[in-house]
Amino acid sequence: MRPLLPTLTGAGLLLASALVASAGEPSPAPSDGVTVTRGEPVALLTGAGSINATDVRYQVHGTDLGIMWDNGAGEVLMAFGDTYGEGWGGNGAGPREADWRCNVLAKSSDRDLADGMTFDTMVQDRPGHAGQLLDCLQQNGVEETVIPTAGIAVGGRSFIHYMSVNHWGPPGQWFTNHSGIAWSDDDGETWTKDPDAVWPNTPEWDSKFQMTAFVRHRGHVYLFGTPNGRWGDAHLARVPAGKVLDKDAYRYWDGSDWSPSEAAAVPVADGPIGELSVQYNEYTGRWLMTYLDESRAQIVLRDAPGPTGPWGDEQVIVDGAEYPALYGGFLHPWSCGPDLYFALTQWGPYNVTLMRSTLTRE
Protein backbone atom coordinates (compact mmCIF):
# COMPACT_ATOMS: atom_id res chain seq x y z
CA MET A 1 0.00 0.00 0.00
CA ARG A 2 1.11 3.57 -0.52
CA PRO A 3 1.22 6.24 2.19
CA LEU A 4 -1.56 8.76 2.54
CA LEU A 5 -1.59 12.06 4.36
CA PRO A 6 -2.90 12.27 7.95
CA THR A 7 -6.64 12.23 8.51
CA LEU A 8 -8.54 15.08 10.12
CA THR A 9 -7.90 13.45 13.49
CA GLY A 10 -4.17 13.27 12.85
CA ALA A 11 -3.92 9.53 12.38
CA GLY A 12 -2.15 9.08 9.05
CA LEU A 13 -4.14 6.24 7.64
CA LEU A 14 -3.39 4.14 4.65
CA LEU A 15 -5.19 2.11 2.11
CA ALA A 16 -6.38 -1.39 2.41
CA SER A 17 -9.38 -3.42 1.64
CA ALA A 18 -12.01 -5.73 2.82
CA LEU A 19 -13.01 -9.20 3.41
CA VAL A 20 -15.15 -11.57 4.99
CA ALA A 21 -15.63 -14.95 6.55
CA SER A 22 -17.80 -17.92 5.88
CA ALA A 23 -20.62 -18.45 8.35
CA GLY A 24 -22.79 -21.20 9.68
CA GLU A 25 -26.35 -21.47 10.82
CA PRO A 26 -27.39 -19.85 14.11
CA SER A 27 -27.09 -21.98 17.22
CA PRO A 28 -28.89 -19.88 19.82
CA ALA A 29 -31.96 -17.81 19.04
CA PRO A 30 -31.00 -14.51 17.41
CA SER A 31 -30.48 -11.64 19.82
CA ASP A 32 -31.90 -8.17 19.45
CA GLY A 33 -28.45 -6.64 19.15
CA VAL A 34 -24.92 -6.74 20.48
CA THR A 35 -22.54 -4.64 22.48
CA VAL A 36 -18.80 -4.97 22.07
CA THR A 37 -15.75 -4.04 24.12
CA ARG A 38 -12.74 -2.12 22.90
CA GLY A 39 -10.22 -4.35 21.19
CA GLU A 40 -7.03 -5.45 22.93
CA PRO A 41 -3.87 -6.69 21.20
CA VAL A 42 -3.26 -10.43 21.32
CA ALA A 43 -0.13 -10.88 19.20
CA LEU A 44 1.83 -9.34 16.36
CA LEU A 45 1.35 -11.69 13.39
CA THR A 46 3.78 -10.36 10.78
CA GLY A 47 7.21 -8.75 10.62
CA ALA A 48 10.21 -8.74 12.91
CA GLY A 49 9.40 -9.83 16.45
CA SER A 50 6.09 -11.38 15.42
CA ILE A 51 5.00 -14.81 16.65
CA ASN A 52 5.39 -16.07 13.08
CA ALA A 53 8.83 -14.50 12.47
CA THR A 54 7.76 -13.79 8.88
CA ASP A 55 10.83 -11.65 8.23
CA VAL A 56 13.14 -14.61 8.82
CA ARG A 57 10.95 -17.45 7.57
CA TYR A 58 9.37 -15.85 4.48
CA GLN A 59 11.10 -12.50 3.80
CA VAL A 60 7.95 -10.65 4.83
CA HIS A 61 9.32 -7.63 6.72
CA GLY A 62 6.34 -5.34 6.21
CA THR A 63 2.80 -6.05 5.01
CA ASP A 64 -0.83 -5.13 5.67
CA LEU A 65 -4.50 -6.19 5.71
CA GLY A 66 -4.88 -9.92 6.37
CA ILE A 67 -8.29 -10.84 4.96
CA MET A 68 -9.33 -14.29 6.20
CA TRP A 69 -11.58 -17.15 5.14
CA ASP A 70 -12.15 -20.80 6.03
CA ASN A 71 -10.92 -23.02 3.19
CA GLY A 72 -13.26 -25.84 4.23
CA ALA A 73 -10.35 -28.20 4.93
CA GLY A 74 -9.41 -27.19 8.46
CA GLU A 75 -7.41 -24.08 7.60
CA VAL A 76 -7.86 -20.35 7.57
CA LEU A 77 -6.26 -18.63 4.59
CA MET A 78 -5.04 -15.09 5.19
CA ALA A 79 -4.25 -12.77 2.27
CA PHE A 80 -2.13 -9.66 2.62
CA GLY A 81 -1.60 -6.59 0.46
CA ASP A 82 1.61 -4.90 -0.68
CA THR A 83 4.48 -6.76 0.96
CA TYR A 84 8.18 -5.90 1.35
CA GLY A 85 11.32 -7.82 2.22
CA GLU A 86 15.00 -6.97 2.48
CA GLY A 87 15.57 -3.23 2.23
CA TRP A 88 12.16 -2.30 3.63
CA GLY A 89 12.29 1.12 5.21
CA GLY A 90 10.74 0.16 8.56
CA ASN A 91 7.73 2.46 8.42
CA GLY A 92 4.96 2.27 5.87
CA ALA A 93 5.05 0.73 2.42
CA GLY A 94 8.11 0.72 0.18
CA PRO A 95 10.60 1.41 -1.19
CA ARG A 96 9.54 -0.18 -4.45
CA GLU A 97 12.84 -2.01 -4.89
CA ALA A 98 12.60 -3.68 -1.45
CA ASP A 99 11.43 -7.08 -2.74
CA TRP A 100 7.95 -5.70 -3.39
CA ARG A 101 5.16 -8.25 -3.88
CA CYS A 102 1.64 -6.93 -4.45
CA ASN A 103 0.02 -9.71 -2.38
CA VAL A 104 0.96 -12.81 -0.38
CA LEU A 105 -0.90 -15.58 1.48
CA ALA A 106 -0.52 -17.39 4.82
CA LYS A 107 -2.18 -20.61 6.02
CA SER A 108 -3.16 -21.40 9.59
CA SER A 109 -4.83 -24.33 11.33
CA ASP A 110 -4.51 -22.66 14.76
CA ARG A 111 -7.82 -22.82 16.63
CA ASP A 112 -6.55 -21.41 19.93
CA LEU A 113 -6.42 -17.71 19.18
CA ALA A 114 -6.02 -16.61 22.79
CA ASP A 115 -2.24 -16.44 22.32
CA GLY A 116 -2.27 -15.40 18.67
CA MET A 117 -2.65 -16.95 15.23
CA THR A 118 0.24 -19.20 14.28
CA PHE A 119 0.95 -19.67 10.59
CA ASP A 120 1.60 -23.22 9.39
CA THR A 121 3.22 -21.82 6.26
CA MET A 122 3.01 -19.15 3.59
CA VAL A 123 2.68 -19.75 -0.15
CA GLN A 124 6.26 -19.62 -1.44
CA ASP A 125 7.82 -19.18 -4.87
CA ARG A 126 11.11 -20.50 -3.53
CA PRO A 127 12.09 -21.89 -0.16
CA GLY A 128 11.92 -19.22 2.53
CA HIS A 129 10.31 -16.56 0.32
CA ALA A 130 6.59 -15.72 0.23
CA GLY A 131 5.52 -15.55 -3.39
CA GLN A 132 3.11 -13.19 -5.09
CA LEU A 133 -0.36 -14.67 -5.69
CA LEU A 134 -1.97 -12.38 -8.25
CA ASP A 135 0.09 -10.74 -10.96
CA CYS A 136 0.28 -6.94 -11.09
CA LEU A 137 2.01 -4.49 -13.43
CA GLN A 138 3.43 -2.22 -10.70
CA GLN A 139 3.03 0.78 -13.03
CA ASN A 140 1.54 3.92 -11.51
CA GLY A 141 -1.34 5.26 -13.60
CA VAL A 142 -1.75 1.90 -15.35
CA GLU A 143 -1.90 -0.73 -12.62
CA GLU A 144 0.03 0.20 -9.52
CA THR A 145 -0.93 -2.89 -7.52
CA VAL A 146 -3.50 -5.67 -7.16
CA ILE A 147 -4.87 -6.11 -3.65
CA PRO A 148 -7.14 -8.82 -2.19
CA THR A 149 -10.23 -7.40 -0.53
CA ALA A 150 -12.27 -10.52 0.29
CA GLY A 151 -12.05 -14.31 0.30
CA ILE A 152 -14.43 -17.27 0.45
CA ALA A 153 -14.38 -21.00 -0.25
CA VAL A 154 -17.10 -23.10 -1.88
CA GLY A 155 -16.80 -26.80 -2.63
CA GLY A 156 -13.06 -26.94 -2.14
CA ARG A 157 -12.37 -23.96 -4.40
CA SER A 158 -11.16 -20.67 -2.91
CA PHE A 159 -12.10 -17.30 -4.37
CA ILE A 160 -10.39 -13.95 -3.86
CA HIS A 161 -12.10 -10.71 -4.74
CA TYR A 162 -9.36 -8.21 -5.63
CA MET A 163 -9.02 -4.62 -6.77
CA SER A 164 -6.71 -3.39 -9.51
CA VAL A 165 -5.40 -0.02 -8.30
CA ASN A 166 -4.67 2.52 -11.02
CA HIS A 167 -3.12 5.12 -8.71
CA TRP A 168 -3.21 6.51 -5.18
CA GLY A 169 -5.01 9.78 -4.52
CA PRO A 170 -5.55 12.24 -1.64
CA PRO A 171 -6.06 11.03 1.96
CA GLY A 172 -8.46 8.10 2.10
CA GLN A 173 -8.84 7.94 -1.67
CA TRP A 174 -7.47 5.75 -4.43
CA PHE A 175 -8.67 4.90 -7.90
CA THR A 176 -9.23 1.43 -9.31
CA ASN A 177 -9.37 0.11 -12.85
CA HIS A 178 -11.71 -2.69 -11.87
CA SER A 179 -12.37 -5.35 -9.28
CA GLY A 180 -12.57 -9.03 -10.04
CA ILE A 181 -12.48 -12.60 -8.79
CA ALA A 182 -9.57 -15.04 -8.91
CA TRP A 183 -9.87 -18.72 -8.00
CA SER A 184 -7.65 -21.51 -6.70
CA ASP A 185 -8.18 -25.27 -6.66
CA ASP A 186 -4.90 -26.13 -4.91
CA ASP A 187 -5.40 -24.53 -1.48
CA GLY A 188 -4.18 -21.12 -2.53
CA GLU A 189 -0.91 -22.19 -4.10
CA THR A 190 -1.81 -20.92 -7.59
CA TRP A 191 -4.51 -18.53 -8.74
CA THR A 192 -6.37 -17.71 -11.95
CA LYS A 193 -8.08 -14.39 -12.56
CA ASP A 194 -11.41 -15.11 -14.20
CA PRO A 195 -11.71 -12.85 -17.27
CA ASP A 196 -15.50 -12.63 -17.01
CA ALA A 197 -15.93 -12.12 -13.25
CA VAL A 198 -14.93 -8.47 -13.40
CA TRP A 199 -16.61 -5.25 -12.18
CA PRO A 200 -15.18 -2.41 -14.31
CA ASN A 201 -14.91 0.98 -12.70
CA THR A 202 -16.77 3.90 -14.23
CA PRO A 203 -15.14 6.93 -15.90
CA GLU A 204 -16.17 8.84 -12.75
CA TRP A 205 -14.40 6.25 -10.51
CA ASP A 206 -17.62 5.51 -8.61
CA SER A 207 -18.49 1.85 -9.23
CA LYS A 208 -20.22 0.46 -6.13
CA PHE A 209 -18.34 -2.87 -5.98
CA GLN A 210 -14.63 -2.03 -6.19
CA MET A 211 -13.82 -3.16 -2.63
CA THR A 212 -15.78 -6.02 -1.18
CA ALA A 213 -16.59 -8.44 1.62
CA PHE A 214 -17.82 -12.01 1.12
CA VAL A 215 -20.19 -14.00 3.34
CA ARG A 216 -21.47 -17.50 2.62
CA HIS A 217 -24.88 -18.10 4.20
CA ARG A 218 -27.80 -20.49 3.51
CA GLY A 219 -27.04 -21.37 -0.09
CA HIS A 220 -25.86 -17.94 -1.19
CA VAL A 221 -22.63 -15.99 -1.24
CA TYR A 222 -23.29 -12.37 -0.29
CA LEU A 223 -21.07 -9.66 -1.74
CA PHE A 224 -20.91 -6.36 0.14
CA GLY A 225 -19.30 -3.63 -1.93
CA THR A 226 -17.97 -0.09 -1.61
CA PRO A 227 -16.46 2.28 -4.16
CA ASN A 228 -12.70 2.71 -4.30
CA GLY A 229 -11.36 4.58 -1.30
CA ARG A 230 -12.76 4.96 2.19
CA TRP A 231 -15.59 7.43 1.81
CA GLY A 232 -18.39 5.44 0.17
CA ASP A 233 -21.51 3.60 1.31
CA ALA A 234 -21.90 -0.19 1.43
CA HIS A 235 -24.04 -1.95 -1.18
CA LEU A 236 -25.08 -5.58 -1.43
CA ALA A 237 -25.35 -8.35 -3.99
CA ARG A 238 -25.77 -12.10 -3.74
CA VAL A 239 -25.25 -15.14 -5.93
CA PRO A 240 -26.04 -18.86 -5.57
CA ALA A 241 -23.03 -20.45 -3.87
CA GLY A 242 -22.26 -22.59 -6.91
CA LYS A 243 -22.13 -19.63 -9.30
CA VAL A 244 -19.55 -17.30 -7.76
CA LEU A 245 -17.77 -16.82 -11.11
CA ASP A 246 -20.99 -16.23 -13.07
CA LYS A 247 -21.39 -12.48 -12.99
CA ASP A 248 -24.78 -12.70 -14.73
CA ALA A 249 -26.10 -14.71 -11.77
CA TYR A 250 -25.51 -11.88 -9.27
CA ARG A 251 -28.55 -10.04 -7.96
CA TYR A 252 -28.31 -6.59 -6.36
CA TRP A 253 -30.38 -5.31 -3.45
CA ASP A 254 -32.51 -2.40 -4.71
CA GLY A 255 -34.15 -1.59 -1.39
CA SER A 256 -37.05 -4.00 -1.71
CA ASP A 257 -35.92 -6.93 -3.87
CA TRP A 258 -32.98 -8.56 -5.68
CA SER A 259 -32.44 -6.98 -9.09
CA PRO A 260 -30.27 -8.21 -11.99
CA SER A 261 -29.12 -4.61 -12.48
CA GLU A 262 -25.95 -3.53 -10.69
CA ALA A 263 -27.03 0.08 -11.19
CA ALA A 264 -30.15 -0.61 -9.07
CA ALA A 265 -28.10 -1.33 -5.92
CA VAL A 266 -28.89 1.05 -3.07
CA PRO A 267 -26.85 1.58 0.10
CA VAL A 268 -27.50 -0.87 2.92
CA ALA A 269 -25.14 0.99 5.27
CA ASP A 270 -24.12 4.64 5.09
CA GLY A 271 -20.46 5.59 4.89
CA PRO A 272 -17.77 6.59 5.21
CA ILE A 273 -16.82 2.91 5.03
CA GLY A 274 -13.30 1.66 4.34
CA GLU A 275 -11.84 -1.87 4.36
CA LEU A 276 -15.12 -3.60 5.05
CA SER A 277 -15.39 -7.03 6.71
CA VAL A 278 -18.69 -8.85 7.33
CA GLN A 279 -19.75 -12.14 8.90
CA TYR A 280 -22.82 -13.91 10.19
CA ASN A 281 -22.09 -14.45 13.89
CA GLU A 282 -23.45 -17.68 15.33
CA TYR A 283 -23.12 -16.66 18.97
CA THR A 284 -25.37 -13.62 18.65
CA GLY A 285 -27.45 -14.69 15.66
CA ARG A 286 -26.62 -11.30 14.16
CA TRP A 287 -24.76 -10.06 11.12
CA LEU A 288 -21.64 -8.08 12.01
CA MET A 289 -19.63 -5.62 9.96
CA THR A 290 -16.36 -3.95 10.87
CA TYR A 291 -14.65 -1.17 8.95
CA LEU A 292 -12.54 1.95 9.20
CA ASP A 293 -14.54 5.14 9.67
CA GLU A 294 -12.01 7.51 8.12
CA SER A 295 -13.79 10.59 9.42
CA ARG A 296 -13.24 9.38 13.00
CA ALA A 297 -9.96 7.46 12.56
CA GLN A 298 -11.62 4.52 14.31
CA ILE A 299 -12.37 0.89 13.56
CA VAL A 300 -16.05 0.36 14.29
CA LEU A 301 -18.55 -2.50 14.49
CA ARG A 302 -22.20 -2.49 13.45
CA ASP A 303 -24.77 -5.28 13.68
CA ALA A 304 -28.02 -6.17 11.92
CA PRO A 305 -30.66 -8.93 11.91
CA GLY A 306 -30.00 -9.65 8.23
CA PRO A 307 -27.62 -8.65 5.44
CA THR A 308 -29.94 -5.94 4.09
CA GLY A 309 -30.12 -4.34 7.55
CA PRO A 310 -31.12 -2.25 9.28
CA TRP A 311 -27.54 -1.83 10.43
CA GLY A 312 -27.16 -0.37 13.92
CA ASP A 313 -25.04 2.48 15.18
CA GLU A 314 -21.25 2.37 15.06
CA GLN A 315 -19.54 0.96 18.14
CA VAL A 316 -15.85 1.79 18.41
CA ILE A 317 -13.55 -1.22 18.77
CA VAL A 318 -10.20 0.46 18.05
CA ASP A 319 -9.36 4.16 18.34
CA GLY A 320 -6.69 5.86 16.24
CA ALA A 321 -5.72 7.92 19.28
CA GLU A 322 -4.38 4.69 20.83
CA TYR A 323 -3.30 2.99 17.60
CA PRO A 324 -2.14 5.74 15.23
CA ALA A 325 -2.46 5.21 11.48
CA LEU A 326 -4.78 2.23 11.95
CA TYR A 327 -6.81 0.54 9.23
CA GLY A 328 -8.29 -2.83 8.30
CA GLY A 329 -10.11 -4.74 11.01
CA PHE A 330 -10.78 -8.05 9.25
CA LEU A 331 -12.81 -10.66 11.12
CA HIS A 332 -11.48 -14.17 11.79
CA PRO A 333 -13.93 -16.76 10.40
CA TRP A 334 -13.60 -19.07 13.42
CA SER A 335 -14.26 -16.21 15.83
CA CYS A 336 -17.87 -17.06 16.66
CA GLY A 337 -18.13 -15.39 20.07
CA PRO A 338 -18.24 -14.25 22.72
CA ASP A 339 -14.60 -13.48 21.81
CA LEU A 340 -14.29 -11.64 18.51
CA TYR A 341 -10.86 -11.77 16.87
CA PHE A 342 -9.81 -9.50 14.02
CA ALA A 343 -6.68 -8.38 12.17
CA LEU A 344 -5.59 -4.75 12.54
CA THR A 345 -2.91 -2.94 10.51
CA GLN A 346 -1.02 0.22 11.39
CA TRP A 347 0.80 2.17 8.70
CA GLY A 348 3.68 2.44 11.12
CA PRO A 349 5.04 -0.20 11.63
CA TYR A 350 3.17 -1.52 8.55
CA ASN A 351 2.40 -4.92 10.00
CA VAL A 352 -0.62 -6.85 11.23
CA THR A 353 -1.75 -7.52 14.81
CA LEU A 354 -4.42 -9.96 15.99
CA MET A 355 -6.89 -8.12 18.23
CA ARG A 356 -9.68 -9.36 20.50
CA SER A 357 -12.98 -7.80 21.55
CA THR A 358 -15.84 -9.37 23.52
CA LEU A 359 -19.44 -9.53 22.33
CA THR A 360 -22.48 -9.41 24.59
CA ARG A 361 -25.92 -10.47 23.39
CA GLU A 362 -28.70 -8.00 24.12
For 32, how many CA atoms within 13 A lie in the half-sphere containing its CB? 1
Condensed to tens digits (0 to 9), the pLDDT of residues 297-342 reads 999 999 999 999 999 999 999 999 999 999 999 999 999 889 999 9
Q: pTM for this structure?
A: 0.91
Asked whether the beta carbons of 231 and 211 are under 8 A apart, the reply is no
Secondary structure class of 58 (helix, strand, coil): helix
Q: Buried b vs exposed e over 167-202: b needs ≥16 C-beta within 10 Å? A: bbeebbbbbbbbbbbbbbeebbeebebeeebebebe
Fold assignment, 19-361: Tachylectin-2; Chain A (2.115.10)
Question: In the chain, what are the domain boundaries?
Answer: 19-361
Q: Provide the pLDDT for residue 30.
A: 73
Q: How far apart are the first and last CA of the chain?
A: 38
Condensed to tens digits (0 to 9), the pLDDT of residues 247-276 reads 999 999 999 999 999 999 999 999 999 999
The torsion angles phi and psi of 315, rounded to 5 degrees, stand at: -115, 125
CB-count burial class (<10 Å; 0-12, 13-18, 19+) for 238? buried
Instruction: Give the pLDDT band of residue 114 (cuts 50, 70, 90).
Output: very high
Interior angle at CA 345, CA 339 and CA 346, nearest 5: 130
Tell me what the mean pLDDT of segment 18-38 comes to: 62
